A and B are shown apart, each in its own frame.
Chain A
Amino acid sequence: MAEKPEFDAFVVARWSALLRTAYLLTRDEGRAEDLVQTALTKLWFAWDRVEGDPEPYVRRILVNTHTSWWRRRWWSERATDRVIELAERDAPAEATMDLWTALGHLPPGQRAVVVLRYFDDLTEAQTAAQLGCSVGTVKSQHAKALRRLRDDVAMVTSTEEASS
């Protein structure tokens, strides 16, 4: 394999940060690592053509690849089914639910917006650039995500229990 020491240095330096984001997107250590490696493999081929900081480029690949895998049902996530299930659960079972669980119920696009905004601390404009969509889309997805989290039965129950 052709040597690309700068690429290797980038991987070593940014691995942990990328893996954290990937984990928040996938919620599975193995999948997160797979996702990061897939994104970095794509970056390796594009390395000589990337101008400036490669991190935004690889992060965009990361998010898009995750969405792609999710939609292909390559992995097991099926957020819409899960939400239906939650709505049918009895209240006592919800006591164990928390925000982390509720975040897992978000569709990949909304989850990506939440992760980029609240974990990576990106602005709306930066998030839009990362996701390759408009700022308006980020705003609407952000609002939908927060509404969905709020309406999630798990969160409703947790909130009710906390206040009682």
Chain B
Amino acid sequence: MNQDLITRTLAEHATSVDHRGPDLGSLHARVATARRRRHATAGATAVGALVAAGLTAGLVVGGEGGVPHPAPVPTTPSQSQSESVLPYRTQAVEVLPADDARSQASRVEVIAAPANDPGEPVLEVTVLPEAELIEDLPYCRAALDLWLVVQYGGGARQTMPCTPGADLSPEFPSQPFHTTVRFSDLEPDLPDSPVEPVDVRLFVTTADVDDTPRRLWEEGIPTSTTAQFGLVVHGQTSPIVGTIVGRPVSVLGEFEGRDWWFVRGVEAPTGAETLTVELPASDSDRMVQPVVHDVDIIPPTSSETVQISLDGQDVDHRFDEPRVAFLDETTAFVPAGGPHTIELRLTEGIPENVDLGVAIFEAD
């Protein structure tokens, strides 16, 4: 590889944005919006502290083995996770699955599979994501000069190239565990939220979405097409065993032919920059997954802002190939044995605006 060519190519293309000067007005507006959101969150947090106190009192009366299970966070269907209210925690909170959670676990199944009519370049469907955990896999079998665009009601979109050999029934990808709803606008509903139908629009286009402005994609829709495309929506109705910093956690995940069971979660005290968890010795392999709620990021929960260390050694997964359907890249694999000390450390973000937690899964 000619490295001078790389330098030249980057330099040539970089100048193509030189006509876009600094937009201080827009930036100030963005900062002002973020500040308002923070003030709203701070106010809500004070209320949350009262709610948390009430919950704790209830748990003492209920006496669930002395280990609190955070109740679902109060929310409304229109409320995004970034705006949701998380209880204020003065100390770490443990989340444990119910004793009978495993017996109620189910595996992933197809809950919807809309496909385009022959010749039709556009497909518009409404999907009711009734399962607890959702993953949608678009596909497009066609000549190589077509792209598939998937637009969701919430404004999110994804694109993918069509290929002649595309699988018309994509299977649910193997994954370590599935803690996050992935459908629609990528903002997960919390447990007990009403199920809202999601409008989805799919179309094929000859526009190369990598190099064409978004507004021009529709101009590339052919009048008819031989493309076969659609969406396979998978769902899992395993019980949600709790929420960790507002994110639902399922009891069962599958990865490389193994079952991974949620065994424990911990939420750090509000505003904490680190979270240390002691793992007792075990005969089973374990996975440790950070869970983050960041009011600064929409959509929130980007766990690459967290560094995991295992027994004092940093775990570096930042540059792994993307693992399909596995959102949280900073995950530590802990082989059987131990005991171990896990530390999660925020490496980006302002601690007072970030809620930090961890989910621990154990292999069969």
Residues of A within 8 A of B (CB): 1, 8, 11-12, 15-16, 19-21, 23-24, 27-30, 32-33, 37-38, 40-42, 44-46, 60-61, 64-65, 67-68, 70-74, 76-82, 84-85, 88-90, 93, 98-101, 103-104, 107, 109-110, 114-115, 118-119, 131-134, 137, 140-141, 146, 149-150, 155
CA distance A46 to B1 in the complex (A): 40
Mask: chain B, 190-207; 1 = CB below 8 Å from A; 0 = not:
000000000000000000
In the assembled complex, which residues on chain B have CB atoms less than 8 Å from the CB atom of A100? Answer: 9, 13
Give which listed residue, A8, A23, A41, A114, contacts B17 with CB less than 8 A: A23
Contact residues in A for B158 (Cβ distance below 8 Å) = 73, 76, 78
Does B210 touch A at the CB level, under 8 Å? yes
How far is A141 from B160 in the complex, measured between Cα atoms in Å? 25
Summarize A's interface: helix, strand, loop or mixed. Answer: helix
Q: In the complex, what distance in Å separates the CA atom of A68 from the CA atom of B17?
A: 22
8 Å CB contact of B327 from A72, A79, A110: A72
- Do residues B302 and A68 form an inter-chain contact, with CB atoms below 8 A? yes
Known contacts A24-B10, A27-B210; is A33 also within 8 Å of B159 by CB?
Answer: no
**Which residues of B sit under 8 angstroms from A33, Cβ to Cβ?**
17, 20, 23
Q: Choose among B11, B296, B307 the residue that contacts A42 (Cβ–Cβ < 8 A).
A: B296
Number of interface residues of B (CB under 8 A): 63
Which A residues lie within 8 Å of B305 (CB)? Answer: 64, 68
Contact A68 B304 (CB under 8 A): yes
Contacts of A70 in B (CB 8 A): 322
B residues within 8 A CB of A132? Answer: 307, 318, 347
Which B residues lie within 8 Å of A85 (CB)? 144, 161, 163
In addition to A42-B296, A64-B305, A82-B161, 6 A-B residue pairs with Cβ atoms within 8 Å of each other are: A44-B27, A67-B318, A78-B159, A80-B322, A81-B161, A137-B318
Q: Is the CB of A109 within 8 A of B319?
A: yes
Contact partners of B92 in chain A: CB under 8 A: none
Given contacts A76-B209, A80-B321, A107-B321, contact A11 B27 (CB under 8 A): yes
Q: How far is it, in angstroms, between the C-alpha of A90 and the C-alpha of B233 when the chains are bound?
A: 32
Which parts of B267-326 form the interface with A (CB within 8 Å)? Answer: 296-297, 299, 302, 304-305, 307, 316, 318-319, 321-322
B299 and A118 form a contact (CB under 8 A)? no
Identify which of B159, B165, B319 contacts A137 (C-beta below 8 A): B319
Q: List 20 A-B contacts (CB under 8 A).
A: A8-B24, A11-B24, A24-B13, A38-B30, A41-B27, A41-B30, A45-B31, A71-B302, A72-B302, A73-B186, A74-B299, A99-B9, A103-B10, A107-B322, A114-B10, A118-B3, A118-B6, A132-B307, A133-B316, A149-B1
Interface centre among B17, B160, B321 (most CB of A within 10 A): B17
**A71 contacts B15, C-beta separation under 8 Å:** no
Q: Are B6 and A114 in contact (CB under 8 A)?
A: yes
